[in-house]
Structure 1
Amino acid sequence: MSDMKIPGQIPIETLSRQLLRACDQAVLSTALVDGGWPYGSLVMTACDHMAAPLLLLSDLAEHTMNLARDNRASLLLNGTVGLDNPLTGSRITVLGKVVKTDEPNLKARYVSRHPESEMFVGFKDFNLYRMTIARAHIVAGFGIIHWIGAEKLLFDTAGFEGIAAAEADIVTHMNEDHAEAVSLYATSLLGLEPGKWKMTGVDPEGCDLRDGGEVARVNFDKPAANAEDVRVALIRLVKTARASEKV
């Protein structure tokens, strides 16, 4: 089956991943241990390279105790912030099982996305979790509503492993040696206010930026297969950003 597309735009699966990667917080809904009532709580999110959500949770939190009994959950990620009419914007609800993970690269990715979490990540009662997605429901404005299975939603990283291996070096290099370019991504490409923008992550489909409490996402024109492709994509983006400043 061909990808579903928003008329004149991108495949709905791609839009869904972009939304997952762009948001840094969500409403986590779990079933209360006492009675099974739906319980919603605010959590901070990151994603792995497939776009599966990552969560850093305290053992003492109500939602973590709920997950210990039933690890089925949903995450609502909201891309409507700042719109005059939020119902015209995109939001996605992801359903799946929340499973503890000890993978060091995922923990590093989460901390890079949320620097304030570094003080908690080493505590014994804090653990990193990854959502194993079953399916997702996206509403991308009036009449654009789709259920998407995990096999369509998640990015297949087979053959793209080199980017994950090089990610930390790429991010460090961009922040230390090309800070101006990172800033241009935010200001010229995305129209955001100047600030102390930093790159926090890179994956086959784009890169993540942060300035204090504000996050941003820059998407590549096409997936990058390896670290060299990422380099080429980042150079292309900064050329586009500089050209737009001259207009």
Structure 2
Amino acid sequence: MSKPETEKPRKDVLRETDDEARRLARGLLRSARFGSIAALEPESGHPIASRVAVCPDMDGTPVILISNLSGHTAALNGDPRCSLLLGEPGKGDPLAHPRVTLFCHAEKLERGGEAHHRMRRRYLARHPKAELYVDFGDFAFFRLKVERASLNGGFARAYSLAESDLILPADAWVRLADWEPGAVEHMNEDHADAVKLYAEVLAGKPEGNWRLIAIDPEGLDLKAGDELARLWFGSTLSEPEKLRPALVDLAKQARAKQAE
């Protein structure tokens, strides 16, 4: 009997992670309104998947608001390991559109703490209808602490990413967190024209009642109805004092582009 042929090693399908892949993955995370979470059902050990509303914290960590009555809450309380799939299909083949799977550990935010207050404000700016139940006793915020990620940027564009490829270190955003609420309110009340230009001219979004909903060291999140827009700064803000010049520079870029 002849010996079986030696199996050839499988060609590595992963591309080398580069800045383009990091920006794509961070964009999927920052722009998400909903995602699919998978956790382990306590009774059976089977994965239980569910759709959840998502909001990124300032460092990029995804946060969800879920009820104690839901099956995936029981699963996360029993075993905090979970996966979160982000990325919406568009026209044509759904598998041709980018998506990212985040491998996470869920951590419940204690009600009344600084992180809870910050996420309540950021979450309601993205999901205003949640104001009906956000303060109910059986609802809680969970941070999905990212350990690693798998990015599929479309056909033949697969990447493996580390936490540092997606999540900002604390020293990059903690000081800006104190500035964010006032800056968001100021831009919406006094510079609504600039906010509109950010979305429609720089981000290429359709006309609408655009409002600034969040700021982080890497950029802005804007919203009109159910439409979201992500706008990146030219460079990551190293200190909060650079926020105003960055916003002014974006407005100048938008007006210059509009005049072309």
Q: Distance in 1 between matches of 2:138 and 2:204?
A: 40
Give 4+ residue runs of structure 1 displaced > 6 Å after superposition. none
Paired residues for 1:5-20 under 5 Å: 5=18, 10-20=19-29
Extract unaligned runs of 5+ from structure 1: none
Residue in structure 2 matching 1:92, options 74, 96, 100: 100
In the other structure, the counterpart of 2:12 is none
Contact residue 65 and residue 140 of structure 2 kept, 8 A = yes
**Secondary structure at the residue paired with 2:170?**
coil
Q: Distance in 1 between matches of 2:164 and 2:222?
A: 27
TM-score w.r.t. the length of structure 2 is 0.87
In the other structure, the counterpart of 2:198 is 185
Cα distance change, pair 30–159 in 1 and its aligned pair in 2 (3 A)? closer
The Cα offsets for residues 195-236 of structure 1, whole Å up to 9 and x where unpaired, read as 111111000000111111121111111101233322112111
TM-score w.r.t. the length of structure 1 is 0.91
Extract unaligned runs of 5+ from structure 2: 1-15
Which moved further from structure 2: 209-218 or 153-162?
153-162
Residue in structure 2 matching 1:214, options 213, 224, 227: 227
The Cα offsets for residues 125-145 of structure 1, whole Å up to 9 and x where unpaired, read as 000110111111001122221
Q: Distance in 2 between matches of 1:235 and 1:83?
A: 35
Per the TM alignment, residue 85 of structure 1 is displaced from its structure 2 partner at its CA by 3.3
Paired residues for 1:72-221 under 5 Å: 72-79=81-88, 81-102=89-110, 103=115, 104-221=117-234
Which moved further from structure 2: 23-32 or 144-153?
144-153
Contact residue 29 and residue 41 of structure 1 kept, 8 A = yes
**Secondary structure at the residue paired with 2:178?**
helix
Choose 1 or 2 for highest CA Rg.
2
Contact residue 68 and residue 139 of structure 2 kept, 8 A = yes
- The one-letter amino acid of 1:89's match is H
Paired residues for 1:232-243 under 5 Å: 232-243=245-256
Contact residue 163 and residue 225 of structure 1 kept, 8 A = no
C-alpha RMSD over aligned residues: 1.6
Of all paired residues, the percent bearing the same amino acid is 35
What is the total number of aligned residue pairs between the two structures? 240
Contact residue 17 and residue 161 of structure 2 kept, 8 A = no
Residue in structure 1 matching 2:74, options 65, 71, 75: 65
Residue in structure 1 matching 2:44, options 32, 35, 42: 35
